[in-house]
A and B are shown apart, each in its own frame.
Chain A
Amino acid sequence: MLNKIWAGLIIIGLLFTVGQDIQDEISNTYNNGVIQQISFSYAEDSPQLLTLILDNTQLTATIKTDQIIHIHLDTNSPVHLQNIADANGNKNRLIARITSKNNTQLNLLLPELHWHKLRSVTQAAFDMAKFAVKLAIGLIGIMALWLGLMQIAEKSGLIKSLVIIVQPLLYWLFPNIPKDHPVFGSISMNMAANMLGLGNAATPLGIKAMQQLQSLNTNKDKASDEMCMFLALNTSSVQLLPPVTLIALMGTQVSELIVPIVLATSCSTITAVLVAKTYSRRGAKQDKACNS
Chain B
Amino acid sequence: MQQLSSLIIPLIILFIVCYGLIKHIAVYEEFVDGAKEGFNIAVNIIPYLVAMLFAIAIFRASGALDFILILLTPLADFLHFPAEVISMGIIRPLTGSGSVGVLAELINSHGEDSIIVKISAVMFGSTETTLYVLAVYFGAIKIKNTSYALQAGLMADFAGFVAAIVVCLWYFS
Contacts and interface: CB of A to CB of B under 8 A. Distances in A.
Interface of A: 1-2, 5-6, 9-10, 12-14, 16-17, 20, 117, 120-121, 124-125, 127-129, 131-133, 135-137, 139-141, 143-145, 147-158, 196-198, 201, 203-204, 206-207, 210-211, 213-214, 220-225, 227-232, 234-237, 239, 241-247, 249-255, 257, 259-261, 263-272, 275-276, 279, 283
Given A128-B56, A139-B45, A249-B100, 8 more contacts: A148-B30, A148-B33, A196-B5, A236-B127, A236-B159, A264-B125, A272-B159, A275-B155
A12 B159 CA distance: 25
A121 B61 CA distance: 5
A9 B59 contact: yes
Main SS class of interface, B: helix
B151 interface: yes
Main SS class of interface, A: helix
Interface of B: 1-2, 4-5, 8-9, 12-13, 16-17, 19-20, 22-23, 25, 27, 30-39, 41-43, 45-46, 49-64, 67, 93-94, 100, 103-104, 107, 112-113, 118, 121-130, 133-134, 136-138, 140-141, 143-153, 155-160, 162-164, 167-168, 171-172
Contact of A222 (B46, B133, B147): B147
A135 B49 contact: yes
B35 A276 contact: no
Given A13-B58, A249-B104, A152 B141 contact: no
A198 B140 contact: no
A230 B149 CA distance: 9
Nearest to A262: B126
Contacts of B62: 12-14, 16-17, 20, 117, 121
Contact of A264 (B122, B136, B144, B172): B122
Contact of B35 (A121, A144, A157): A144
Given A2-B134, A124-B61, A235-B153, A264 B126 contact: yes
